[in-house]
Amino acid sequence: MKRLCIFIRAFRKTLPSTRHFCTASSFAIKNVTRSNFEPTLVELRRHVRDADFVAVDLEMTGVTSAPWRECFGFDRSDIQYLKVKDSADKFAVVQFGVCPFRWDPHKQSFIAHPHNFYIFPRQEIKGDDDSLYEFHCQTTSIDFLARYQFDFNTCIRDGISYLSRNQEEEALRRLNERYKDDLPDSLTSVREVLDMKLDRVADILFTERLKNNIAEWLDRLLREGNSGRLETENRSKASSQKMKTIFFKMHPAIDLSGFTLHQLRLIQLIVKKHFKDLVFVSVTNEASCQQHLIVYTESRSDQDLLLREVKDCIRKESEMKIKGAIGFRQVIDLLSSEKKLIVGHNSFLDVAHVYRKFIGPLPSTAKNFVAAVQKYFPFIIDTKVMLNTNSVLETLLKRSSRNTSLSKAFALLCPQIASVEKPSGSDDKYLVKVEVQVDDKRSQNWNSGAKHEAGYDAFMTGCVFAQACSYLCVDFNCHPPSSSWPHNEKLQGYVNHLYLSWINGDIIDLRSGNCKPELTSSRNWKNRCAQILYQNMVVLWGFPSKLKASEIRECFSKAFGSTSVSMIYYLDKTAVFIQFSKEELVSEFLVLKKTLERSNDPISVIHPLSKVLEGGQTCAGNYEAYKSICSSSISKVFFADQADAVGIQWKTQSLGPVPEDEMVPNKNKVLPDSPYQTENVEEVLSNGNNYRDELDSFFPAQAAQLRSR
């Protein structure tokens, strides 16, 4: 309905102005499913080769597998990566938007080719790791997609499947393993069959009958050697329907059809046992059906030759099947091999998904991950980083309380595309023209308006990037070879800089793996900041559920002094972080907790901490314990259950030396003070309106959920 309205509006607008180029400004985006994937890929190859940059966007079945897996302000950068990794491990990508942009110097306009791929992890080859074909769905995300008219039927029925590079290698390795031994009969597990015992009367009768039939057939074959006669005679037999004579690789053969698997096994047994000149073969025919044959061979060497030939054939088929199962990964391979500039909006999670789905398992640290990513995608740019770290763009966006969600940025930066009304701004000369081409339809003010559809989001991202480049005074005409884009010195500050997590404002440099807070930061809450000192923190869970943060603080203040606790953060309703004012207090607390739990004397009962320890289920650990719980692949809804499921045996972590984390240069970071205190991040977001919409692109479901609260 919404799209229809836009269409009508657009149509009305264009009708009076006699534009000679194209009147209809809205046509459907290029939707790609498995039915039109191959021809589209051919076209796409050309578009990507010619492109200056390629914008991408993904839609997933979820973002966080548990509430406590959401990104919090007190998450160190290694934790942030673990959370991204968990998300990419668990959820499926269901839509993949790819939009190549090319600058046309004659038209002084970009040409964009938005594609919207439906993808689905359908299992196409056997023997694969089953766990790769199961995925989580976050209920709110599915609901969110449904609200934006996502077509689940198309996705599940016709979505393009894929194999990662890792899966492909593994499948080929298994294939080699299977055909490694040169035994000709290894393709059918004959020895397994020989083991079969004939003890059912029916089986014995069946084998006797078949033995006679085959013997007769062989007899006639040897006697007459004439195939034409054979067939006519054979027809008289009762079982002729099931046993047709054909030729297989120049050998006369019986085509066995209509037998059950059990019967076929019996036949195989008969052939092996009683007929030296015959050999049982199973192949896949042209119609890709399984065909079972008994083939006549003249000699032992002839038989070996035939079997080898059959084996090679089957092997080639399996290889083809594996190649055929690569599916959507061909698009990823294309983007990788062309080494184009990839543009995304807040795209770290997207990149993680691309790696996980199409390359292989994610490395365990961010540093190793970005190094691996660089090998496949040397140039990635994040429009969100550009918009938030460039002063020119920042001032442009400031007008609207600094909102850098994709749709907002698109509406503000690209009014000439986003709205049908002609923009009345004075800075018209900076506005970039983008012509959209879908198959042979073209339009200069195309706008499908289908927000949160991967193809359209990719298009918006590309437009935002082009416009941002224009404001940065990148001269589009100066780029004859499209490969020079990533090397433009005006973009150097942005290429390969991604938000590791937007909430924390940590930007990771893909080339070095270093992570630092964003430089120019106008985040209004940064003014009232508090220090996060990871080494001063203790994570506490399993305490009595009725306990409030203020009560916990009170208990600790009584036990360690009124200034001992500098902050308390809620992880979820079953766990809190307590930040002590001094590092020593961490071990002091853990030791005290242990002593209190061990002794049952009156002192421990009246001790101020007893309120927290009540119930005997309270556990505590330092920040590294939090990390190890985060790195588990299990996802329970509540943190306390998670810690339990991860198999933490201790109730109080025994203290060894706290491992220094080499990948985190900013061990202590800055965090807003008051709002985060004693509150869950989610709640903070729902109270402060400032960056609610920012969540839009990164946490669609949660953001939607927050807004509707």
Which residues bind to another protein, rule: CB under 8 A? 61-62, 65-67, 90, 92, 120-123, 127, 129-131, 133-140, 142-143, 146, 151-153, 156-157, 177, 189, 191-192, 195, 548, 635, 637, 645, 647, 705, 708-709
The nearer residue to another protein, 265 or 526, going by C-beta atoms, is 265
Q: Supply the minimum distance, in Å, between the C-beta of residue 633 and another protein.
A: 10
User: In this structure, what token pair is assigned to residue 615?
Assistant: 């119930």
Q: Supply the minimum distance, in Å, between the C-beta of residue 84 and another protein.
A: 16
The nearer residue to another protein, 27 or 152, going by C-beta atoms, is 152
> How far is residue 56's CA from residue 455's CA, in Å, rounded to a whole number?
8
The nearer residue to another protein, 136 or 244, going by C-beta atoms, is 136
Q: Supply the minimum distance, in Å, between the C-beta of residue 287 and another protein.
A: 20
Q: Supply the minimum distance, in Å, between the C-beta of residue 575 and another protein.
A: 16
Q: Supply the minimum distance, in Å, between the C-beta of residue 65 and another protein.
A: 6
> How far is residue 553's CA from residue 612's CA, in Å, rounded to a whole number?
10
> How far is residue 619's CA from residue 574's CA, in Å, rounded to a whole number?
11
> How far is residue 355's CA from residue 499's CA, in Å, rounded to a whole number?
17
The nearer residue to another protein, 30 or 90, going by C-beta atoms, is 90
> How far is residue 41's CA from residue 33's CA, in Å, rounded to a whole number?
11
Angle at 500 between CA 499 and CA 501, to 5 degrees: 85
Q: Supply the minimum distance, in Å, between the C-beta of residue 69 and another protein.
A: 10
The H or E element that residue 97 is part of is strand 93-104
CA-based nearest residue to 508, from 314, 647, 346: 346
The nearer residue to another protein, 91 or 465, going by C-beta atoms, is 91
The nearer residue to another protein, 122 or 523, going by C-beta atoms, is 122
282 touches 248 (CB < 8 A): no
User: In this structure, what token pair is assigned to residue 142?
Assistant: 């599915």
The H or E element that residue 434 is part of is strand 434-438
3 touches 448 (CB < 8 A): yes
Q: Supply the minimum distance, in Å, between the C-beta of residue 518 and another protein.
A: 30
> How far is residue 348's CA from residue 575's CA, in Å, rounded to a whole number?
28
Angle at 635 between CA 629 and CA 640, to 5 degrees: 60
Point out which residues pair with 529 in neighbouring strands: 672
The nearer residue to another protein, 40 or 140, going by C-beta atoms, is 140
DSSP-derived 3-state class of residue 10? helix
The nearer residue to another protein, 137 or 313, going by C-beta atoms, is 137
The nearer residue to another protein, 9 or 265, going by C-beta atoms, is 265
Task: Return the number of other C-beta atoms located less than 10 Å from residue 518's C-beta.
Answer: 18
Q: Side chain identity at 518, as an amino acid letter?
A: E
- 117 phi/psi in degrees, rounded to 5: -95, 130
DSSP-derived 3-state class of residue 88? helix
